[in-house]
Amino acid sequence: MIKENGGGRIRRRKGSNEVPADAGQVNENHLLVNDQNKYRSMLIRAYSSMWMIGGFIFVVYMGHLYIWAMVVIIQIFMAKELFGLLRKANQDKQLPGFRHLNWHFFFTAMLFVYGRILSQRLVNTVTTDKFLYKIVANLIKYHMVTCYFLYIAGFVWFILSLKKMKMYKYQFGQYAWTHMILIVVFTQSSFTVANIFEGIFWFLLPASLIVINDIAAYIFGFFFGKTPLIKLSPKKTWEGFIGASVTTIISAFVLANFLGRFQWLTCPRKDLSTGWLQCDPGPLFTRENFTLPGWLPEWFPWTEIHVLPVQWHALGLGLFASIIAPFGGFFASGFKRAFKIKDFGDSIPGHGGMTDRMDCQMVMAVFAYIYHQSFIVAQSVSVGMIFDQIVMNLSYEEQQALYTNLGQIIQDRQFGES
């Protein structure tokens, strides 16, 4: 459907339930409080949200591998939506197989990124089987060269597919667009998967804070929104932004206490098995007493509370999720206006496409990983880190030799001390 709006043509996705404002015009008629169809829109959005949240909880309950599979599915949907933005039907008809080239680069990038992230965990999974271990060790050894030649095959495919008839510009534009999509999609997803295997907690908490912030912003804007926040998103209001920020920061502190009580959420996954995890919770997830400040009124029933140290870190994540991460949504809004589209897709009723739901999540996933690596993970060398390097880089025979030599060294030291 095409809507004429002040001389400019604005494309609308099928199934869209909102109308975008003019590119440079914002007025209070676009606010949710003044939207005549806002209750119908809210019901559709709420129904879709319940299904998404329910499915998300089920996948998280199933464990690390299922969450990773969910991330892969989300990536495929996002790539499909973004690939379609610059496609032109007339040109595509003259380029049979050109779409397959996009997906060739996509799955090559997927093999490279996840091969790098999960190789150590794959080794840990098959360590007890000598035959499988050798196969996996060879796959890992030649992983990079395999991905490189897959990419080169796509590069040659692209060159051979170039056609005249004024198609060069379109084809090179698609080539560049494909690579930009791969950078956007796989950069954030690599951090997301790394967070998952560091402990579901470090994936679930940041992702949940973005969901809470989005819902709270919608509710506060729905009932109280009067002051426009930013021209890129005419329906965003200061009331929604501030209300969502306060709600998100409080929720971060409370939610971290709840999630931090479950070991299967806090334990890192060192292999690709699917069993439930048990581990030493560590000081971050060990309850301690916190004395409340003395300026509280006398009628306040508590003088101290039980907290987990990770809750203080959660406040930092909540602050970022409420103040900085929404700018990922603003960026997506400006991007859509540049292409004169309402949504990236229509796969989620009331929300748009998968990319529309992931804009803030992408920003948050990167920050959560950087925060975890900078302020949570110990920077010193540990036994676990050395062990991982041994398993990763030494052959089975070399590991046996190391075991023998290390045992001899330890035995000699014991005799020397005695």
Q: Where are the alpha helices (DSSP H) in 260-344?
A: 263-266, 310-323, 326-338
Alpha-carbon span 76 to 56, nearest angstrom: 17
- Contact between 226 and 237 under an 8 Å Cβ cutoff? The reply is yes
Coil, strand, or helix at residue 233? strand
Amino acid making up residue 231: K
**pLDDT at position 380:** 55
| Helix and strand numbers, DSSP H then E, in the chain | 15, 6
Average the pLDDT over 108-133 and give the result: 88
Residue with structure tokens 């998404």?
A: 52
Stated as kind and residue range, the H or E segment containing 393 is helix 383-393
The arithmetic mean of pLDDT across residues 392-401, rounded, is 80
Residue 47: the pLDDT is: 85
CA angle 251–228–366, rounded 5-degree value: 45
Q: How far apart are CA 23 and CA 108, in angstroms?
A: 37
Residue predicted with more confidence, 149 or 381: 149
d(CA 361, CA 356): 10
Token pair for 59: 């996948």
**What is the spatial distance between Cα 273 and Cα 121, in angstroms, rounded to a whole number?**
9
The pTM of this model reads 0.80
- Phi/psi for 225 (5° steps) reads -65, 120
**Residue 4 phi, psi (nearest 5):** -80, 130
Judge contact between 360 and 329, C-beta under 8 A.
yes
The neighbour count for residue 409, using CB atoms within 10 Å, is 10
What is the average pLDDT value for the chain, to the nearest integer? 85
Within 13 Å of residue 195, how many CA atoms lie on the same side as its CB? 26
319 or 129, which is more confident: 319
**What is the Cα–Cα distance from 303 to 295, expressed in whole angstroms?**
11
Q: Are strands 8-11 and 2-5 parallel, antiparallel or unpaired?
A: antiparallel
Let me know if 262 is exposed, middle or buried by CB neighbors in 10 A (0-12, 13-18, 19+).
middle
**Whole-angstrom distance, CA of residue 360 vs CA of residue 291:** 35
Q: How confident is the model at residue 5 (pLDDT cuts 50, 70, 90)?
A: very low
How far is 359 from 190, CA to CA, in rounded Å?
15
Q: What three-state secondary structure class fits 230?
A: strand
Q: How far apart are alpha carbons 49 and 52 in whole angstroms?
A: 5
Give pLDDT, residue 23.
40
Tokens coding 383: 């036994």
Backbone Cα Rg of the chain: 26
Structure tokens at 291: 């004395």
Angle subtended by helix axes 354-371 and 310-323, to nearest 10: 140
Alpha helices by DSSP H, 234-309? 238-259, 263-266
Q: Binning pLDDT at 50, 70 and 90, where does residue 57 land?
A: very high
Maximum Cα–Cα distance across the chain: 93
Summarize the confidence of residues 187-197 as an average pLDDT. Answer: 92
Assess contact for 38 and 65: CB atoms under 8 A.
no
pLDDT computed for residue 202 by the predictor: 96
Distance CA 156, CA 173 (A): 17
Looking at residue 25, what is its pLDDT? 46
